[in-house]
Chain A
Amino acid sequence: MMKRSFFALSKPRLVYDLLEPNPDPPLAIDLPLLFTLLLQEPLDLAGKTLIQKGDIVKKGQKLALYKDSMDYAVAPVAGTIKSVAPFSDDVNGMRTCITIEKDAGLDQDTQSLDFQETQGFAADHLNTLPGAPPFDILNGENRRISTIVIMGTDTDLLSTTAQYMSTVHADLLIRGARILKQITHVSRICMTKPQRLNSTARFEGIQVLETGLTYPETLPPIVMKNHLEKIITAGAAPEDMGICFIRAEAVVSLARAFEKKEPVFEKCITLTDKNGFRHRIEAVIGTPLKQIFNQLEIQINELDRIIINGPMQGFATFTPHHPVTPDMDSVLIQAREQIQAVPDNACINCGKCIQVCPADIPVNLLFRFLDTAQYEAAAEQADLASCIDCGLCAYVCTSQIALFHYIRLGKHELNKLRIDA
């Protein structure tokens, strides 16, 4: 728990962790027996899926639910499908999880693929590389991406994954960026880098954007505003403005995959344990977190909290068996005693949220609209769509109102209303 400083005349300073000099390589996590892969696509319980319980899959085999599914996973091992089941995410969105039991008797060589430097191939086979490269965004037909920004900075706190990948694997990153250029034909490639991070690598052909060390300076909308002179339109995604953000790890994975001519599965994760001690680990996608905790001898007790992807923007999982996913940069474990209850207080209009909001949203007004479920009014009169999801308002709230929760709910409900309309 970060505490408010005694003197609080100005905004709070939440500082990103800087990568230590001469970082140690990540600890490799042993392969588990059971792998779990998550798919965004919900399971249609009435229909028949392409993959079924008991099917044998090869390592590197593409697993999609239906014939016309855009979404897919890639089997990290050869084995048998144990189950294809629904899985609900943190906002009660339905997803699908596929469990694969590793079969030592099967040939563990990767299924061979004809690697091509084309958009279609990348979107068809490389979306699930560690770092989750957004080839579906880059491949979008009605969008024109003019700039790719490689994120060598971590977007949330307590993570050094992106810094590690872009510093230690700078040579791979440069090769990956070249491949990315070939695939996408995007001429302008930028890379973010924390200001004080010493890196000897020379990134030729890549424009380096040095970002500040205070949260939320590395969030895509802020990077666009500060470094690319583009203000993101309220409610739009960076790709709507012609800019695509991609994790440094995705670019490194791309280089590795093209080098080996086969998909790679090792995901680098920064794990912060209950005592605040940081571990850097490398686990195969699909490994349950439990396996990592066991290997690091971290005890997970009743009512602890496991937070994936950072304390400000991440989500808390309901199960210690949550698998490692391609976009999982950090894991934070909070002991039961460190968790504050959410009280039922009213807003006192102190204005701290407004002082801290990087998007200049009238958060106190917005909260009043959201609290009374007036989602349309919240969007029209209180700039709901401008929110960049940094979570700072809830972090500083004197009344400890779950403001970010209200905002996420508001966006979700508004989306539903607009779809229904």
Chain B
Amino acid sequence: MNHTTLTVSHAPFWHDGDSLFQRNLNIILALLPAAIFGILQFGAPALGVLALSLSFAMLWEAAINLISKKPPAIDDLDSAVIGLLFGMMLPAVTPWWLILVGTFVAVFVGKIIFGGTGANPFNPALVGMAVLMMSWNMFFDFDTAYVNYDFAFTALAPLEAVKAQGASAAQLFPLGDLFMGREVGAVGCVFGLGLIIGGIYLILRGYTRWELTVSFIAGVLVTASIFHIASPQAYAGPLFHLLSGYTLLGAFFLITESSSSPVNRIPMFIYGFLGGFMIILMRNVGSYADGTVLAVLLVNLVTPLVDNIRPTALGKDISNA
């Protein structure tokens, strides 16, 4: 008997071919329309911010892997996604050192100290953003950030304007302008249409879950409508809130981050809705003009709690036993 060595492994012997690399590559692809629009609108500084942010995030991960003697893990593009998302939330004129610090916090504090890919209880990009916003708040003032630019539209940050002047300021920003990116804001968050196209692409490809996005948008719309109906002078309308600030990025890319969001359907609805609700609460009642970053971080906390609502497994139901 001549013996041929065979490959022996465990069932199933098929896989659908999906991988972390594929998943993250698709997320990056979906972010591109909004990112490219930001570069066109804000010019080379925006490109600089995105490129620095993406590369710093990957370099931080590689460096930390090297120091901690772990196998390099940047090839799954997870830190690239963190970096790109992070860069898209920054104004185009952010100084380089801020990005350096922010990406370190995002990748190291947000992800690696919890155990790396998949172990983060919070959205890493938002952890970085939150620390920067708390520490260097002046760099996130979108009104002063773009003073040297000359735009063909109202160069006021919509949410800050509404915060300062009340709901009447919302009339300065036609919804069509917000939708098509004729506003000032973060590099990757001004082009609503691009974010929606990218987000829907991801949902159709099965990389993010529609339950999260839909319930998040519902949370935003319902809560904003209640405020708006209660006091139309004080609070801007629901669609204004949906199309301004980080809301759309939040709905399609931040709230859907896999590790920090629930996995069961009903919890997803609760979680998403709660996220949308918190954002409007922070905007209308809190002191921040845009509450997306903190609101999403806050609902990340409830994930383990709501995820306990799950269907009974097959054959575990007492009444059938």
Chain A interface (Cβ < 8 Å from any Cβ of B): 1-4, 6-9, 12, 90, 221, 225, 231-236, 300-307, 310-321, 332, 334, 336, 339-340, 342-343, 345-352, 354, 358-362, 364, 383, 385-386, 388, 391-392, 394-400, 402, 404-405, 408
Contact = CB atoms under 8 A, between A and B. Distances in A.
A348 B3 contact: no
B313 A359 contact: yes
Given A225-B314, A303-B5, 11 more contacts: A1-B15, A8-B205, A311-B12, A311-B13, A332-B13, A346-B115, A360-B310, A386-B313, A386-B314, A388-B314, A395-B12
Interface string B285-321: 0000000000000000000000000111111110011
A365 to B, nearest CB: 9
Contacts of B135: none
B19 to A, nearest CB: 6
Residue from B22, B315, B316, B321 with most neighbouring chain A CB atoms (10 Å): B315
B199 to A, nearest CB: 13
Contacts of B119: 346
B312 A398 contact: no
Given A1-B15, A302-B4, A313-B12, A7 B315 contact: no
A317 to B, nearest CB: 7
A319 B9 contact: no
B7 A348 contact: no
A347 B320 CA distance: 33
B77 interface: no
A388 B321 CA distance: 17
A7 B117 contact: no
A194 to B, nearest CB: 20
Interface in B1-27: 1, 3-20, 22-23
B82 to A, nearest CB: 13
B116 interface: yes
Interface residues of B, number: 50
Interface of B: 1, 3-20, 22-23, 76, 115-119, 203-206, 209-210, 258-264, 310-317, 320-321
Nearest to A299: B4
B24 to A, nearest CB: 10
Contacts of B4: 300-302, 304, 320
A2 B13 CA distance: 10
A411 B76 CA distance: 31
A316 B315 contact: no
Given A7-B206, A8-B205, A364-B263, A234 B313 contact: yes
A318 B4 CA distance: 9
A234 B206 contact: no
B115 to A, nearest CB: 7
B18 A304 contact: no
Nearest to A394: B12
B20 A395 contact: no
